[in-house]
Structure 1
Amino acid sequence: MNRFAYEEARLVESESFVSRDRNVKIYDGDQKTEFEDGEVVLTTHRLFWGRPGEIARAAVTLCLPLSYVISLSEETTSNFFGRKTRIIMHLRPPDVSKGPGPLDTSRATHIKLSGKNGLRVEFHNALRETLTARVWEISLTNETILKDPEAMANVNERLARIQKRTGIGGIERHLEAKAKATDENIALAFQDLSVLMAMAKDMVGLSKSISGKIREQKGEISDDETVRFKSYLLSLGIDDPVTRDNFTSNTAYFNSLAQQICEMLLDPIEEHGGMMSLADVYCRVNRARGLELLSPEDLLHACEQLNGPIKLRRFPSGAMVLQLESHDDELIAIDTLEKVNAAESLAVEELANQLGISLLLAKERLLVAERLGKVCRDESVEGLRFYANLLLHRNVD
């Protein structure tokens, strides 16, 4: 970092813009610095780094003359989000006449440029081509040489070479590098997927073993957390999910799938008050099936085949739920009325919070109670609320 100096981000005579990149941070050797999330601009002579917008305003920014750069190399790092490449710029010692900068001394003989997702391939290629062309040597050795047409042609040739190699050629190299990185990421993903599939069978087997032992001890279970843990285990995984490949007809496939859904969701639906929205069913079923995911259409067709003890119900509003056959609207309406009386009035979200159910199910409970005359609604600027229906249930003297 002691090669950088503070300079205005303005182009000098014979200097041209080459490339830029964003969200770049600088390392002093292998040490992190405070210079993060900045914009880096490459010219034919220098490398500028500034906070977003500073370079555009020609403000004072960090500046590294490219004449300091001896060579380039790169390093690749990996983390949870993937791989990224850092550029390493190996530098010669600073000049005595160098202006003031962020550091007066540094033991490092190189700096690193890094981005959140790695530097763009176009910028990396542009930097490499610019260092190869070394346009600054012509203009800095003797500025009067620019008046010579032959020398000027030499400069233009080098600039054209940079533009050509960082233009169409840069795009081609970027596409090749992107394809290579994609292939590497796909290969890495399939390696992780293979491990996950191997572990999934063990996890499902473990969950079945534990849930079986809990079922054996059913008479001794009384703690709410233990009951909840049991329900999680029972819906954690299916060791042999029904798949379409095992059937020659859609009818047989959907019937078998419906039976498996019924076996898996019977206990959870009972614990949720006898009703579960189709969206919750979709999430639970696919979580339990692991890698053998169902499409929404297949799930709906399977639910339409249910014939007990769970059935598919469509409300007048269009909402669809899975409901126990023993689920009685009259009892639900009475229970809802009791909760409305206890609170004097209830909004949909308040009932959902009380019962621990979705807003959709809470609204349908209130609408069922309304259709049976147990409650009535009041719509105002404050929203929709339900009250006990005193008109039908008041005492008449």
Structure 2
Amino acid sequence: MDRFSWCTGLLDIDETLVIQQRGVRLSDGEDKTRFDTGTLLLTTHRLIWRDQKNHDFCIAFPLSQIVFTEEQSGGIGKSAKIVVHLHPPTPNKEPGPYQTSRYSYVKLSFREHGQIEFQRRLAEELTQRRWERSSSSSPSMQITKGPQTGRIKAVGIVGIERKLEEKRKETDKNISEAFEDLSKLMEKAKEMVELSKSIATKIKDKQGDITEDETIRFKSYLLSMGIANPVTRETHGSGTHYHMQLAKQLAAMLQAPLEERGGIMSLTEVYCLVNRARGMELLSPEDLVNACKMLESLKLPIRLRVFDSGVMVIEHQSHNEEEMVASALETVSEKGSLTSEEFAKIVGMSVLLAKERLLLAEHMGHLCRDDSVEGLRFYPNLFLTQSTEMTVSLACSLKIAWQVHARSKGRLHLSTGTRQTEM
């Protein structure tokens, strides 16, 4: 036991914990000691024993002191043991619990088992001799403290401070690199914004040799890049001022999409498009509606429109209803009749907007409907599209058909009444 020295149990900078086992008792050769119940730690440099109740009560010796080890199996009432044979103590050994010992070995009694794995890992460390590879092979860098003397070596404190200083420098380095990456990202972001503006200008003015496929691809890229500076409550406050600024940004953003979609978009489609472009700064449906209600009062180029059915759309101020209805009438006349789904597929718009356009044309008298079990189908209004003679002829035919229907219905009532009288 005179090979052990007092320590705190802290590991050196280049020291690594290999395995630890609770419930281990130390014996000085064949003699019992006061080191009865503790945790045995095997590191790459030392064998450390620490009291399980008082962690400050800790002793250790370097693995370089070990000559060889052997196992002793346990019996009835006896624990399995590992016998560690040691070299004589070195002259510069730190103070420990024993100054002298008549034994050259110690016994490690494993009361909670685990001796097989511990012996295997100990043998591996003795074979690899990793303590020889480190720059500091001596445990003098540890804080050494004995419960009797209470001495603290300054060299141990220096080692701990050095380790903390290295960690601080590494942290500072990581933070500096992170800010450098952030600065580079911001610089690249500015370049990408300028590039996107240049591409948008080329697409708008049709400058350069840009094919149709390239135009579509560039537009998808620009859409994925989103809005550079979205209006938020944090930057523009809340209430009316916020909705006014949001309305202005919507007017600027929706110009191009509206032109591509014939000058009209459903509010649902606008909501999806805007939030996709805003990225993380999502917009609530309520804020979108409130902002859209201000579009016309602010004299912006787009406006909010609510159909009789309650459907809300965003359209250009220059959007012409007469042209829209005339186009719908022309399309329906060419096909003879159309449902809203068929009309939407032909003109390339949503079914909801297609139905509203057909209903508007019907309301203005240009179309008429056939609402049957097959669904709602729209036809051209022949009273407006055919000649006067054909209109009069059709009206006469309808009148004659109605009179015939009325007479037959009257005869049926008359015959029914006669039968009832006879009965």
TM-score interval for Structure 1 and Structure 2 normalised by the shorter chain: 0.3 to 0.5
TM-score by structure 2 length? 0.44
Larger Rg: 2
TM-score by structure 1 length? 0.47
